[in-house]
Amino acid sequence: MNHKQWTEVDHYITDLLVPPDPVLDAMLQASDAAGLPPHNVSPNQGKLLMLLALIQRAHTILEIGTLGGYSTIWLARALPADGRLITLESNPKHAEVARDNIARAGLAHLVEVRVGRAIDTLPQLATEGQHPFDLIFIDADKPSNPEYFVWALKLSRQGSLIIADNVVRNGVVIEANSDDPSVKGVRRFHELLAAEPRVSATAIQTVGSKGYDGFAIAFVTSED
């Protein structure tokens, strides 16, 4: 098995189950033209995020790490008409491209793109009383995953769902002595999940057009 085969199988799945989507195709083209890196989730992963938000009947969603708004659009499509999604992005250019993409997807009325380092904007959300969020997707700078998980819990309620992308990292996650800050962050994140009595969590490995990585998912079973 190799990346070529994973990609072909992803195309097979996507061709059958994720219908052609001019809005998403156009937004990926716009993001590419603006020079954004192709770090968005894959189409079938994006649809998984939408399905999880639908299963969760989410009215309020928080995303940490917007990029061009690809995962944002999938998640926002699961919201009811009075729903709300706040997405946090530190790079002003990424945020600007995302706002345009989200507007062209007809979702601007549901989505707020907030610019700033998430470690600064997360406490603002708490102060403003924007919480609790029904679903929180963590997908920004991986060294900060432990802090983001702590904030995600603070901004949750019993029954919230916390999801994190890129938790396997080509399998390097098992290297206990790694000095890669992203690996350290993701390992610490898994340890926090394990030690946290307020969540029930698991992680799955994924292969596909985005390579070998994984998702973690934590269900908040009780409040503070």
Site residues, ligand SAH (CB under 6 A) = 39-41, 65-67, 70-71, 88-91, 94, 117-118, 139-141, 144
d(C-alpha 169, C-alpha 211), whole Å: 9
Give the count of alpha carbons within 13 A of 3, CB side only. Answer: 6
89 binds ligand DHB (CB under 6 A): no
Q: Which of 6, 7, 21, 39 binds ligand DHB (CB under 6 A)?
A: 39
Counting residues that bind Mg ion (by CB under 5 A) gives: 3
Looking at the Cβ atoms of 11 and 39, the one nearer to ligand DHB is 39
Q: Where are the beta strands (DSSP E) in 53-178?
A: 60-64, 84-89, 111-115, 135-138, 161-165
- 160 contact choice in Mg ion, ligand DHB, ligand SAH, none (CB below 5 to 8 Å, kind-dependent): none
- In angstroms, what is the minimal distance from the CB of 222 to ligand SAH? 28
By three-state DSSP, how is residue 36 classified? coil
* Cβ burial, residue 154 (10 Å; 0-12/13-18/19+): middle
By three-state DSSP, how is residue 220 classified? strand
166 binds ligand DHB (CB under 6 A): yes
165 binds Mg ion (CB under 5 A): yes
Where along the sequence are the contacts to ligand DHB (CB under 6 A)?
39, 139, 165-166
Where along the sequence are the contacts to Mg ion (CB under 5 A)?
139, 165-166
